[in-house]
Every structure is written in structure tokens, then in C-alpha cells.
Amino acid sequence: SGLLKSYDFYQYWVNCDDRDVGRFLKLYTFLPLAKIKQLQALKGSDIRKAKQALAYEATSITHGEKAAKEAQASASTAFGTGEGKTSSDLAAMPSTTISRVRLTGGINPAELFTEVGLSSSRGEAKRLIKQGGLYINDKQIKNLNQQLNEDDLTPNGILLRAGKKKYHRIIVK
């Protein structure tokens, strides 16, 4: 199973260049040409719908329909309003499990973001914090000395975000 995780695969297609969407729909999906032409006609912010169709179809072909639905639900939950996030909606999102004991002791965000792969080093994570690019549960980290602890825990774990598009879920056991 050397495949890219379904959520990451889905996000790859959603984040493709607007100019490539029509060509990719023709190459990587089995959608009828009439539907592809309809999606190609979308402009401005509506192009997102075409990208989501591309992402869903390509993910469904590669990972199966169930994985495509989970990836789509995770993406819409992560990038939506944030209301009503459930564990099943977040199922396809990349996740890491940590112990409650570790969380109780406090965790440096730069360390955790590096550990889960949202930053390449602690130095980069600290730079991103200074620039306002790291978030915990959709709240910007503003202090380099901030520690993650049990207060950050939600019923669905802890949601880490780097920049606008990179998410990772922390599950606490």
C-alpha cells in the first residue's frame, strides 16, 4: 500500500492550477465529455467546483468511492465553517495518536508540527509561528512559548494547521 493517503491525494487535485483542470478532467476521470465541458466553463471562484469534481473522481478511481467520500468530507469539514466537525468527517485526514500523559505534561507546538510533518524543522515551525502561519483548532499560535495541553483537546482531538491548506489531526488516547 505505497499509495498516497486518500486525503492527501484528494487535496493534490483540489490544489492543482486552474488552467489544468479541464485537461486533468479529460485525462484522469471517466466523466462524460459534456459534463467536463460544463465544468470547464466555470470561472472565478466557481472553478473550485470543477476542482472538487476532479479530486473526487480521481480519488474514487485510485482509492475507491468510500475513500473518496471520506476525503471529500474531511476536506469540506477542514476548509468549511468548522461547525459540526465529527470524527467520521475527519476520518481521511492525516492523523497521529499521542498519549494523554504526554499532553498533560505540555507539548511545544514547534516540536509537534515538526513531528507530524507540517514543518520540516523546529526552526521552520518557529518562523511560521512568528509569521502567524500555524494554528491549533483554527486559533493562530501567537506565542513561541505556548504549550499544547489538555485545554486544547476537543471531542475530535486537536486540529493542527500550517498555512491555509495543510491540516493534521492529533488523536489523544
* Neighbouring C-beta atoms of residue 147, cutoff 10 Å: 14
Q: Is the dihedral of CA 48, 50, 51, 52 positive or negative?
A: positive
CA distance to 16, 101, 142, per residue, from 135 (Å):
24, 22, 9
Q: Where in the chain is the domain with CATH 1.10.240.10?
A: 6-79
Render pLDDT for 63-119 as a digit per residue (tens, 0 to 9).
Answer: 999 999 999 988 887 776 444 566 666 777 889 999 999 999 899 999 999 999 999
- What's residue 80's pLDDT? 64
- What would the mean pLDDT of 22-44 be, rounded to a whole number? 96
Averaged confidence pLDDT in the chain: 91
Q: Where in the chain is the domain with CATH 3.10.290.10?
A: 95-172
- What's residue 81's pLDDT? 41
- What would the mean pLDDT of 147-168 be, rounded to a whole number? 92
* Superfamily covering domain 6-79: Tyrosyl-Transfer RNA Synthetase (1.10.240.10)
Q: 95-172 adopts what CATH topology?
A: 3.10.290
- What's residue 85's pLDDT? 60
Q: Exposed, middle or buried by CB within 10 Å (0-12, 13-18, 19+), for 17? A: exposed
Single pTM value for the model = 0.66
Q: Please determine, for residue 1, whether its predicted confidence score (pLDDT) is greater than 60.
A: no
- What's residue 56's pLDDT? 97
Q: Please determine, for residue 153, whether its predicted confidence score (pLDDT) is greater than 60.
A: yes
Taking alpha carbons only, the member of 46, 3, 56, 1 closest to residue 25 is 56
Share of the chain above pLDDT 90, in %: 78
